[in-house]
């Protein structure tokens, strides 16, 4: 009974004094100054003076129809990501990113292999069999991160009042940073514009650091 009363009191207190937040809207511009349709693949996070301990999570990036899903995953440092193979052929998931280099080797349908991401950063993930496959794991060292909705709106919740640097990133645009002072009432009207108008696709290398073979594969 006491626990229930305590939980109820906390909810009532939050209703009267909601915890601060940081939010607004992200716009991603494509060629022709058109709003991009993939703005939901952006990531927004706050940096602090020192890392803040955050409970790690378990997450998945699946492989199906020669694609990784989700394409962008955001996790706290120390989290484990599983890469299950749902295709009827082999994949070889790997990364050459300095924050978390790994090579899971070839494995078949129904199998899964995992990686622990212990260091904050942006980890680019590929398949050594299929050059078109790519995913990104964004690892953060505090709990203040989010991804926007499909309309670009975003909210980073439960942010204590103070000074932070807001980072907004998308794989096709230059990262934008902004100093923010978060009051006790929070901030909800930030407008962030990312520019992808000059983006040019550059093929990545395989796990040996070489171009993928030009000849086709059976699968």
For the chain (length 219 residues), average pLDDT per consecutive 10? 47 60 98 96 96 95 97 98 97 97 97 97 97 97 98 97 97 98 96 97 94 73
Which residue's structure tokens are 């000074």?
163
pLDDT at 218: 59
Domain boundaries, the chain: 25-51+160-198, 53-141
pLDDT at 200: 95
pLDDT at 177: 98
pLDDT at 215: 64
Query: Are domains 25-51+160-198 and 53-141 of this chain identical in fold?
Result: yes
Question: What is the fold of 53-141?
Answer: Immunoglobulin-like (2.60.40)
User: Of 52, 73, 55, which Cα lies nearest the Cα of 142?
Assistant: 52
pLDDT at 214: 78
pLDDT at 16: 52
* Contact between residue 140 and residue 163 where contact means Cβ atoms under 8 Å apart: no
The whole model's pTM is what? 0.89
- When the candidates are 3.40.1160.10, 1.10.3720.10, 2.60.40.1120, 3.40.50.2300, the CATH number that belongs to 25-51+160-198 is 2.60.40.1120
| Gap between the Cα atoms of 197 and 142, Å rounded | 31
pLDDT at 3: 47
User: Of 125, 129, 148, 146, which Cα lies nearest the Cα of 25?
Assistant: 148
pLDDT at 10: 43
Q: How does strand 72-76 pair with strand 134-140?
A: parallel
């Amino acid at each position: 009974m006491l626990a229930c009363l305590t939980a109820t009191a906390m909810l009532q207190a939050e209703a009267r004094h909601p915890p601060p937040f940081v939010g607004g809207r992200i716009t991603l511009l494509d060629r022709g100054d058109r709003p991009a349709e993939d703005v939901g693949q952006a990531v927004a996070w706050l940096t602090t003076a020192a890392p803040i301990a955050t409970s790690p999570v378990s997450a998945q990036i699946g492989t199906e129809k020669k694609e990784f899903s989700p394409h962008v995953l955001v996790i706290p440092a120390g989290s484990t990501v599983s890469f299950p193979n749902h295709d009827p052929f082999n994949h070889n998931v790997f990364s050459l990113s300095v924050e978390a280099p790994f090579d899971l080797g070839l494995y078949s349908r129904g199998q899964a292999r995992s990686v622990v991401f212990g260091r904050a950063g942006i980890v680019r993930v590929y398949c050594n069999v299929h050059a078109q496959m790519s995913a990104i794991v964004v690892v953060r060292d505090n709990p203040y991160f989010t991804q926007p909705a499909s309309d670009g709106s975003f909210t980073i919740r439960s942010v204590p009042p103070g000074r932070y640097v807001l980072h907004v990133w998308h794989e096709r645009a230059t990262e934008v940073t902004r100093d923010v002072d978060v009051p006790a009432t929070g901030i909800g009207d930030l407008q962030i514009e990312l520019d992808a108008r000059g983006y040019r696709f550059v093929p990545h290398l395989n796990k040996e650091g070489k171009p993928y073979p030009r000849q086709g594969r059976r699968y």
